[in-house]
Every structure is written in C-alpha cells, then in structure tokens.
Amino acid sequence: MKTMKSTIKNMSEKRAATSEGWFNIPEMPAANPVIIDSEKCTGCNRCVNICQVDLLVPGKVKGAPPVVMFPGECWYCGCCVVECPVEGAIKLRHPLINRAYWIAKEKLK
C-alpha cells in the first residue's frame, strides 16, 4: 500500500511538472532508465546535479525524491548511482533491447 501511495505521489508530481492539465496523461516512456526507491531516497538531489544530460529534476517538496523527467535522454553511464550516498536508493536499468545474453560455458555443446 505504501508503495502504491508513493507511486501515485510520484505520478502526480510528474504530471504537475510536465503537463498543462488534468487530461494530459503522461505517456509511458520507451524505457525507464533510472529507478528511484522512494523509501531509501533522502532527496539530496546529488543525482540531479551530477547528470550531464540533465534527466532529473528535484522533487517538488524539499526531501522528496527527484523526478526522472526526460527518461529517453539517458546515456546509461551510471554516474547517478556512483554519486548516490544511499546504497540501493537509485538503480540503473537497461531497456529490454539492451540486455545482453550470457550462458554457462558447460552448457555449450
């Protein structure tokens, strides 16, 4: 329930920051590169300030998690994860089309 609440909060923040009105429902991006755990995030905005592409913007309230406003522009460098002071608060997730395959060598015949 808690997660649902924070998801709704994130969504409404994003809508407030990107859209003009109620009927402008955000489009699902082609990929969600940066996954923020709102339970762990302290809202320090270090990730916002290190990103050279400027994907993220600060949350509306002080201490709130940042909003990934321009997910498509992510270069997948992972500097936001390196910069984050809380282990596991931010994750980089490759789009499905960019997930490479590996196999145990012993299975090759």
Partner 1 sequence: MAVRDWPYKLEWGKEETIETDILVLGGGIAGCMAAIAAAQSGQKVVLVEKGATKRSGAGGSGCDHWESAATNPCSKITPEELTGAMLDDNDGFNNGISHYIECREGYDRLLDIEKMGGKIRDTGDEFKGAAFRDEKTRLLFAYDYVNRYTLRVWGTTFKPAMYNELKHLGVRIIDRVMVTSLLNRPGNAGNRIIGATGIHSRTGRFYIFKAKASIMCMSRPSRIWLFSASLPGLCEFRPPQCVGDGHAMGWRAGAEFTMMEKSVGAEFSAAGRSYPPYGAGNNHNTWYGSTLIDSTGREIPYSDRDGNIIEDISGRFKPSSGQKFFLKGGSVDNPKYQYRGPETLPFYEMIAKGYKLPFYADLSGLPESERRVIWGMMVGEEGKTKIPVYKNYTEAGFDPEKHVLQCYGTGWTSAQFLPDERQLFGLPGGFLNDWDLSTNLEGLFVAGDSLYASNCYGHAAATGHYAGRHAAEYSSGCQKTEPYKRQVNEEKERVYSPVNNKPTSGIGWKELNMGISKIMRNYCGEVKHDELLQIGLDQLADYGNRIMSETYAHNPHELIRLLEVFDILTVSEIILHSCLRRKASSKPLCFIKYNSNEASGAGKLITIRQDDNVIRTRELDVDFFGDLNENYEKHNKKYVGEKSSHK
Residues forming contacts to partner 1 in the complex (CB under 8 A) are: 16-18, 20, 29-31, 33, 49-55, 57-58, 60, 67, 69-70, 72-79, 81-83, 92, 94-95, 97-106, 108-109
Shortest reach from residue 51's CB to partner 1, in Å = 7
| 3-state DSSP assignment of residue 106 | helix
Shortest reach from residue 45's CB to partner 1, in Å = 11
Residues in CB range of 16: below 8 A, 6 or more apart: 60
Helix (H) or strand (E) holding 12: helix 2-18
Shortest reach from residue 1's CB to partner 1, in Å = 28
For residue 20, what is the DSSP state? S
